[in-house]
Structure formats: C-alpha cells, structure tokens
Structure 1
Amino acid sequence: MFSRFPNLNRSQRQPSRQRSNISSRFSSRGKDAFAIQRDLAEILTACRFYVELYLDGSKDGVDGLFMECKGFKVSQEVVEFTEVFPEPWGKAKRGMLYTSKLPGAKTTIDNISLRRGLSGSETLWNWLNAVQEGDWAKQRRNGSIAVYRQNGDIGALFQFENAWPISYSVTDNTASSSELACEELEMACEVFKRISPP
C-alpha cells in the first residue's frame, strides 16, 4: 500500500501516538517551569485585543480602537489523487483504489474585517478612497493583532503584511434603535502569520 512512498518510513506515514510526559517538564521548581505551566494553562479571552494599523491622517499613527476584528484564517490547498493497484477489491482480483492527499502550492489567506464605532474620523474611508483613485501601490500597510492575557501581557501576536482595503460599510440607521452606529472595513492581505510576542 505504501510502495508509492519509498522514502517514508511507517512513523512518517502515520500520526505518532506517543504522548510527551508533560509532568517531566515541570519536575524542576524553577521560575521557567512555572512560566511554561502558566502559558499552557491560560486560555486567552476574545475581548482583550489590540489592532495596530498605521494610516495616513491617523492620530498618533494609530487610528482608534476597534470593537471587532475577524477573519483570521490561513488554509493550505489540498491536492488529492487516486491510484489503482493490482490488489483484490471486493470480488475483483485487482483494481484496489488508494487515495492520497498532499499539500499543494497555493495558500489562501482570508480577508480581515475591522469594526468600530462610527465617529467623525474619515481615516478608514480615505484609505479606501485612495485605493479606488489608483494610488493602491502606496497604500499597502503592515500591521499586527495582539491578544492579551488577564495580567496585561501579550499572549498571542499575529502580523499581517501588504494589506489594502477592499470594502467599507456603515450599519443601518433606525430611529427606534439604541445600538451604536458602526463602520466596518474589510481588507485583503498577502501575508498573515503568528509571531512570538516581544
């Protein structure tokens, strides 16, 4: 069955069932052992995050706070192919089919959406407008998204590169509504990766 993978041994073809002995990592009572245990135990909350995005005309270089940030997804293309082998298949003496899945060359990065309360700032709109007017090459921006621990330290840090806006929307206004008016910006980016916090 594995003749088409001559360079892979059995441990490489199948997921390992071995489990590391985590307790051995904390056998010492030093500061590093407790730091590792803290990192593994704490689950980060979705409400404590910060978006760093430098735009033209932004106050202090960063344009306000965002209420919602979504679209963190990177997916790998899957190439699937089927091979026929001279092995029994049901009542047939040969013709067994084996399907393999391999990673392809294409990586897809979803668009990132930023949502915040509508204010007098026109920075997000001006960013989109500059791209629409043909100045898109100079409007690409790098930024980061930090998710914080309860003690205020950065627990997870994501970086996006060469981002540019593709859509801008404002929530519907209703006289009977008590909700905040919000604006939402969707941007495409070429690189999205997780990096180690400073």
Structure 2
Amino acid sequence: MEESLLFSFEAENQVLCGLDEAGRGPLAGPVVAAAVILGPDFPTEILNDSKKLSEKQRLEAEIVIKQKALYWAVGLATAQEIDRINILQASLLAMKRAYEKISSQIHVDVALVDGNQRPNLDCITQAIVGGDALIPQIMAASILAKNQRDRYMVLCHTKWPFYNFAKHKGYPTEEHRSACLLYGLSPIHRRTFHIEQRNAESPVQATLF
C-alpha cells in the first residue's frame, strides 16, 4: 500500500485492522495469526516487528496491546490443517479466523495484511510486504501471534519433552531434526514438511521426512 493511501484511510476515520501470522516455517505446531485494531491514543512507540524485539520486549508490549487496543483476537490453523490445505492457505485461514472474531464485534473498513498474499475477507484487504516493520496495527498483530504461538509450543513441551519444543518452538534446528529421527513424529508435527539438507533452516512443504 502506498503511504498516501494509508493516510487517506486514517483521515477518513475508517477502521483499520492489522493482520499477521507466526509459524509458517516450523516443522511442528500450528500457524497462529492475530488481528488488532488500535485507537488514536495507542502508544505506538512500543511496537516493532516481533522478530526485532526480545522476548521480554514482546511480552511487555503484549500487555499494553491487550489493555489499550480497541479490539484484538487470535486464530490458528492446526498442523493437520496445514497438511491438508498447505501452509499458505492455512496461514490465510488463521488470519481469517482472527479477523472474524473482531468483525463480529465491529465493522472493519480496511484489513492491512503483512506479506504479499491476502485472506478472503468481507472488507477491503491490502497486502503490504514488510508491513510488520511499517504499520503499527500489523506490528501489534505480529507480537500477539508470536507470543501466543510460543506459549502453545511451551505447553506442547510438557506433553512431549523429548523434542524440546520450549527451546526451538518447533523450528528446524539440528536438535529438533535429530529428535524427529530418533523418536518419530508427534501428533503436532506437520507430516508434509521436509528439510532440504543444503539449507536446514528453510523447510519446504513437500513430503514426509
């Protein structure tokens, strides 16, 4: 979205909803999305792309977002849904689910989505590449999505501690890949993901390990 277009939406007092997701790259766990509507007095200086914030900063920002945002919601798509419809469509589905929790309470004029793909929503929807570093509403959504997914993976660690989900959150670290080979796959592993050996940090959805 061009900056001038974004400002025109704000000038017209239209309701802007930011959308972002976390968890497209891991081998295990859901993809989690958040939707956030901020008010004019929100302290945007606390926001940033969640990947550029420390865990402490993200958790502190989350408290403020949940207290001061006009509306916020999270949604997810499970590992089973990822396997069934692919990671891109599952990411869009998670965003749609988060959005619909908010749109059931207030009419949204424009949804601003991080990335270059857009979920099918009942409002004007604009994809913004790098939006999680540019748009406060998307920054806030990225923080909520990241924190929610991390908490989910910590809970999964208590059930399947031998994968050490609390440490790597399901991402394809050497430790995680070795655990998968040793113990097999848990119920939350994405069975259509494999890891290209030449780039172990960039899993692709293709076949079972």
Rg: which structure is higher? 1
TM-score range, shorter chain: under 0.3
Higher strand share: 1
Question: TM-score, normalised to structure 2's length?
Answer: 0.21
Question: TM-score, normalised to structure 1's length?
Answer: 0.22
Higher RCO, Cα 8 Å, sep 6+: 2
Higher helix share: 2
